[in-house]
A = this chain, B = another copy of it.
Amino acid sequence: MAYTAPTGETSFILNELVGYPALQRTERFADTTADVTEAILGEAGRLAERLWPLGAAGDRDPARLENGRVRTTEGFAEAYRAISDGGWIGLAAPPQRGGMGLPQCLNVAVNEYLASACLALEVKLLLTQGQIDALEHHGSEAQKALYLPKLTTGEWSGTMNLTEPQAGSDVGALATRAEPQADGSWSVTGQKIYISWGDSDLVENVCHLVLARTPDAPGGTRGISLFMVPKVLPGDDGGLGPPNTLRVLGLEEKLGLHGSPTAVMSYEGARGWLVGAEHGGMAAMFTMMNNARLGVAAQGIGLAEAAYQHALAYARDRRQGAVGGTGAIVEHPDVRRMLAEAKAEIFAARAIALACGVAIDEADATGSDDWRARAAFLTPIAKSYCTEVGCRTADSGIQVHGGMGYVEDTGAARFLRDARITPIYEGTNGIQAIDLVGRKLADGGEAAFRLIDEIETGAETARRPVPDMARSVWSGAESLREATEWMLAQGIETRLGGASAFLNAFALVLGGHFHLKAATRGGAARRALAEVYVARILPRAGASLAAAQAGVDDLFALSVDDLG
């Protein structure tokens, strides 16, 4: 089958649902006209359609380590060059560093398309974008001048080195150390794991941003600093100098994402430079992370869309049993249900992620704290919900295929294997939920209630054209308000027992909001899809809200031994 980039879906959501036209009226994004937007989406879509075969190729012919060097899948080098040359790495990067200066919401769309085509390659782009963002916010002028142009053109690429065997979600437990040198550089020593694209033959230099502990640093996260540790040391002329003392010890054998080399990295007195303030590593890491979290949301949507198109093509083609219409299995009600539910969820997920992108851009354009708070609130929701939709759609895509779904040749299983990393990396979905009910409710619920107000206002507006759906969404929002109030009245520990369910419910009701808006602004098909969502998906919010308010006592009433 072929993949078709869903540019029409993106445009509709941007223009009708998430306030993109208002963003275009800001001074900051005045150049991003309708024509520019259409050109960007069209161009990126066509590239993704062209790169589509690489998703399967990377799976069949994984990245491998040969004599300490990473060899990548055939075709990846040309593809990465095409991505670089198209300017896609620097889409949202500042123009004075070679970027296009376009809004993040377009980056979300472009990254979604590229992730549909080949997640293994797209993750390399995403990490480099995160590094550009981190350097832009925390690097020195010299660092920006040296690294940003090379990263933006794709000559060099970036990695993020957080995890160590004993320090995963608990970043503060890391042991890699950095010793100051006479010349102002640092000597970095330690081992890092799960380093996506820790090395490759696609670029001439790999720039590692490494979290490490300086001498006499305080314990935990407060004592962590960030270092730039390039694979090849930059020469005095800005070109390439001698190799640094770092090595790839091995690549992980993973469930999926085989085209992406996941390295165990060893830093052996490697030369590095402090990025940002000493002990300020966590702040820089969060800049990288926040960008990456919305990027991972885009990956979830991309995987969902790819798996969905793949399953739909099969269902339209495969004939089994006597059914009406085209005679294909898509005419069987339960197959139609799986596909319709998937399409409805993908729509909701995409709208949430694009709304989050627009909020980031509005914050950037206006400096408004409200927009910033909205973006911060939507980020963990987008990351978790979109990645869960990615896995769920890949899973139902297998089911649509029946026995063929279990056979690797068909390709359906790969989407699930690839998608399964997304609820884990850049902060597990559990961590996102903790972030949501903790830090993101620390404003007394202001950002949450503002969103809920918006959903209810939307439902009021929709009451005349689509009364039943409007009532369901309004009532979902009202239950969400009660649950939010309940959360705010609890201590943090109690909130945590229902954190994931609360996040899920928030996403489901937001999805209902966007579907409702689409039903009133789109044609009959948009309204029909909204009906499916409201009848079959939105009711899950009720179940999630019950679980969200279950507290934590029941979980700990079971002792660890009781669990055994």
Interface residue A454 (Cβ < 8 Å from any Cβ of B): no
Residues of chain B within 8 A of A256, CB atoms compared: 406
Q: Is B425 a contact of A398 with CB atoms below 8 Å?
A: no
Distance from A151 Cβ to chain B, minimum over Cβ atoms (Å): 25
Interface residue A557 (Cβ < 8 Å from any Cβ of B): yes
Residues of chain B within 8 A of A564, CB atoms compared: 312
A194 to B339, CA, bound (A): 25
Q: Name the residue on B nearest A220 (C-beta).
A: B322
Interface residue A226 (Cβ < 8 Å from any Cβ of B): no
Among A256, A425, A499, A550, find the residue whose CB has the most chain B CB atoms closer than 10 A. Answer: A550
Residues of chain B within 8 A of A293, CB atoms compared: none
Interface residue A325 (Cβ < 8 Å from any Cβ of B): yes
Distance from A74 Cβ to chain B, minimum over Cβ atoms (Å): 20
Do A424 and B408 form a contact, CB below 8 Å, given A560-B316, A564-B312? Answer: no
Interface residue stretch chosen among A111-119, A142-150, A480-488, A524-532? A524-532
Q: Is B554 a contact of A535 with CB atoms below 8 Å?
A: yes
Q: Is A555 a contact of B340 with CB atoms below 8 Å?
A: yes
A540 to B170, CA, bound (A): 32
Neighbour of A433 across the interface among B334, B402, B421, CB < 8 A? B334
Residues of chain B within 8 A of A496, CB atoms compared: 332-334
Q: Is B430 a contact of A334 with CB atoms below 8 Å?
A: yes
Interface residue A173 (Cβ < 8 Å from any Cβ of B): yes
Q: Name the residue on B nearest A547 (C-beta).
A: B536
Q: A162-204 interface mask toward B, CB cutoff 8 Å, 1 = contact, 0 = none?
A: 0100111110010000000000000000000110000000000
Q: Is A253 a contact of B409 with CB atoms below 8 Å?
A: yes
Neighbour of A536 across the interface among B395, B404, B501, CB < 8 A? B501
Q: Which of A393-433 contact B (CB under 8 A)?
A: 395, 398-399, 402-409, 413, 416-417, 420-421, 423-425, 428-430, 433
A287 to B409, CA, bound (A): 32
Do A562 and B334 form a contact, CB below 8 Å, given A321-B169, A321-B170, A536-B501? Answer: no
Copies in the complex: 2
Q: A550-564 interface mask toward B, CB cutoff 8 Å, 1 = contact, 0 = none?
A: 101011111110111
A424 to B398, CA, bound (A): 9
Q: Is A420 a contact of B406 with CB atoms below 8 Å?
A: yes
Q: Is B546 a contact of A255 with CB atoms below 8 Å?
A: no
A529 to B499, CA, bound (A): 19
Residues of chain B within 8 A of A331, CB atoms compared: 560
Interface residues of A, dominant DSSP: helix
Do A528 and B554 form a contact, CB below 8 Å, given A255-B408, A333-B493? Answer: yes
Distance from A550 Cβ to chain B, minimum over Cβ atoms (Å): 4
Do A557 and B543 form a contact, CB below 8 Å, given A399-B430, A406-B420, A407-B253? Answer: no
Residues of chain B within 8 A of A167, CB atoms compared: 320
Q: Is A554 a contact of B532 with CB atoms below 8 Å?
A: yes
Q: Is A546 a contact of B554 with CB atoms below 8 Å?
A: no
Interface residue A349 (Cβ < 8 Å from any Cβ of B): no
Q: Is A428 a contact of B408 with CB atoms below 8 Å?
A: no
Residues of chain B within 8 A of A547, CB atoms compared: 535-536, 539
Interface size class of A (residues with CB under 8 A): 35 or more
Q: Name the residue on B nearest A433 (C-beta).
A: B334
Do A337 and B555 form a contact, CB below 8 Å, given A316-B560, A403-B194? Answer: yes
Q: Is B558 a contact of A173 with CB atoms below 8 Å?
A: no
Neighbour of A531 across the interface among B312, B337, B420, B554, CB < 8 A? B554
Q: Name the residue on B nearest A535 (C-beta).
A: B550
Interface residue A542 (Cβ < 8 Å from any Cβ of B): yes
Q: A295-326 interface mask toward B, CB cutoff 8 Å, 1 = contact, 0 = none?
A: 00000000000000000100010011100011
Do A334 and B542 form a contact, CB below 8 Å, given A340-B555, A558-B532? Answer: no
A225 to B529, CA, bound (A): 44
Q: Which of A487-534 contact B (CB under 8 A)?
A: 493, 496-497, 499-501, 524-525, 528-529, 531-532
Residues of chain B within 8 A of A275, CB atoms compared: none
Distance from A57 Cβ to chain B, minimum over Cβ atoms (Å): 16
Q: Is A398 a contact of B420 with CB atoms below 8 Å?
A: yes
Interface residue A330 (Cβ < 8 Å from any Cβ of B): yes
Q: Name the residue on B nearest A537 (C-beta).
A: B547
Interface residue A46 (Cβ < 8 Å from any Cβ of B): no
Interface residue A455 (Cβ < 8 Å from any Cβ of B): no
Q: Is B399 a contact of A330 with CB atoms below 8 Å?
A: no
The contact sample of 9 A-B pairs, CB cut-off 8 A, is A167-B320, A330-B560, A340-B555, A343-B563, A398-B420, A399-B423, A528-B554, A535-B546, A535-B547
Interface residues of A (CB under 8 A from B): 163, 166-170, 173, 193-194, 252-256, 312, 316, 319-321, 325-326, 330-340, 343, 391, 395, 398-399, 402-409, 413, 416-417, 420-421, 423-425, 428-430, 433-434, 493, 496-497, 499-501, 524-525, 528-529, 531-532, 535-536, 539-540, 542-543, 546-547, 550, 552, 554-560, 562-564
